Amino acid sequence: MSQQPPIRTAGLRTQAVGHASLRRANLALVLRHLRDEGSCSRSDVADATGLHRATVSSLMAELIERGLVRELGTARAGAIGRPRRAVALDGSHVGALGMEINVDYIAVHGIDLGGRVLVERRIGFDAMGEGPDRSLVELGRVARKAIAEMRRAGAAPGGIVVAVPGLVDIGPGVVTLAPNLGWDDLPLAERLRAELGGFRAPVGVDNDANLSALAEFTSGVAAGTPDMVYLTGEVGVGGGIMVGGRLLRGADGFSGEVGHLPVNPAGRRCGCGRTGCWETKVGLAALVRAATPERAYELGAAASPDPEVRMKEISRALAAGEPRTLAAVAEVGRWLGLGGSILVNLFNPRVIVIGGYFARLAERLIPPAQAELERLVVAGPAARCRFLASNLGFGAASRGAASMVVDHIMDDPAAIGFGPATARSSVGSL
């Protein structure tokens, strides 16, 4: 039962090719119309879309079958003629499951198409220590539990997307390289489908920063801002880029790799082997190194002891006005602005959302970062771009993953692969 194609997360097809894809495009057109306009009759939909009424009826029957649309009974009767039956988007019978596997946890965020949160959970898990095989077993276990809960709530997932901190080949859903998990060339989508047995809806994999960017665009501080960049500061620095309301993908899905931008060829050697990467200036290790008086920190040592403990020390030192720490944070802010200027010169976003540890120090990072950005951007104040701190915290990636499943269903309602009845009947196999 793993023949379902993975979720292809590239941009919308803008051109119909042949009848089958035309029908899929029209299903999406009708579904979107209902989402945007609320309830209406089949005739309203036909008038608004220019589609033939018989076509609309047939599309509507399929959408009802798939649990995406419901009849509202007789409504909006015309002054003359037959009363018209209204239909509406039904968000409650189809779910979207977002997951994240990261260095020390697995997170799930399961919603229905109406946005109601059905499952939200974060489980401590040492992915690096456990290795890819045991990680997949655990990921499968957590997914099965979430799917079962969502089904009990009446909204079987119409797809799953998993967020991973690394390079992902989104076509086949293969993790090309995830250094912090110790994974390379892991066919995650295929392996997770195998773990899930009878699960018939598509399974996709994507980069965690990409999905966090999507979450910020969907429901975070940059909600509705079509051109925006998301940056996450951890030991590494990740990025996700929205262009015209869509995630930037590139030819292989490897776009947005901001951490190793060469910003200072005369600078420090990076953990990746290159010199002067942006991470060596703004990653958590760089901050800790600059803020710590003794040479207690060397490259690569930042992950242990606990970064969380180090962050608390830094926050305490900032509150106490410790000069070295204040200077270190201001310096990170300036380099954040310098790297930000690269992003603004190239992408011209309206907002750069900062997450991870950047968000926790935002109050002190943003002023120097914003000043440096404005000094360096070629278009100057004409390219209005502001740094904003994320308020989604942990969970942004799994939330973005769920949102990607929703987008995918709205783009291609036929891909969910089953109606609610079928879904219920296969619960037993999980």
Site residues for a second copy per CB under 8 A: 10-12, 14-16, 19, 22-23, 26, 32, 36, 48-52, 55, 167, 169, 176-177, 226-227, 239, 241, 243-244, 248-266, 272, 274, 338, 341-343, 345-350, 375-376, 378-379, 382-385
Q: Output the smallest distance, CB 353 to a second copy, in A.
A: 14
The owner of tokens 């920063």 is: 209
Nearer to a second copy, 85 or 384 (CB): 384
Q: Hey, which residues does 71 pair with through a beta bridge?
A: 87
Q: Which of 228, 331, 346, 231 is nearest to 288 (CA)?
A: 331
Residue 202 or 239: the one with the smaller Cβ distance to a second copy is: 239
Is residue 121 within 8 A of residue 107, CB to CB? The reply is yes
Q: Rank residues 319 and 378 by Cβ distance to a second copy and give the closer one.
A: 378
Nearest residue (CB) to a second copy, 28 versus 96: 28
SS3 of 359, please? helix
C-alpha dihedral sign at 356, 362, 364, 369: positive
Strand order in the sheet with 85-89: 40-41, 85-89, 69-74
Report how far residue 415's alpha carbon sits from residue 357's, in angstroms, rounded to the nearest whole number: 38
Q: Compare residues 253 and 395 and give the one whose CB is closer to a second copy.
A: 253
Measured from the CB atom, is 80 or 266 closer to a second copy?
A: 266
**Which residue shows structure tokens 């776009």?**
255
Nearer to a second copy, 221 or 383 (CB): 383
d(CA 211, CA 208): 5
Cβ-contact 162, 401 below 8 angstroms:
yes
Query: Closest distance between a second copy and the C-beta of residue 207, in Å?
Result: 11
User: Smallest distance from the beta carbon of 349 to a second copy, in angstroms?
Assistant: 6
> Distance of alpha carbon 39 from its chain centroid, rounded?
29
Strands (E), 218-369: 228-233, 237-243, 246-247, 351-356
β-pairing, 351-356 vs 228-233, is parallel
- Cα 76 to its chain centre, rounded Å, is 39
Scanning 246-322, the segments in alpha helix (DSSP H) are 279-282, 284-291, 307-319
Tell me how far apart the alpha carbons of residues 119 and 117 are, in angstroms, rounded to a whole number: 6
By beta-carbon proximity to a second copy, the closer residue of 92 and 348 is 348
What gap in Å lies between CA 253 and CA 45, rounded to an integer? 36
Question: Closest approach of Cβ 73 to a second copy, in Å?
Answer: 27
CB of 121 to a second copy, least distance (A): 31
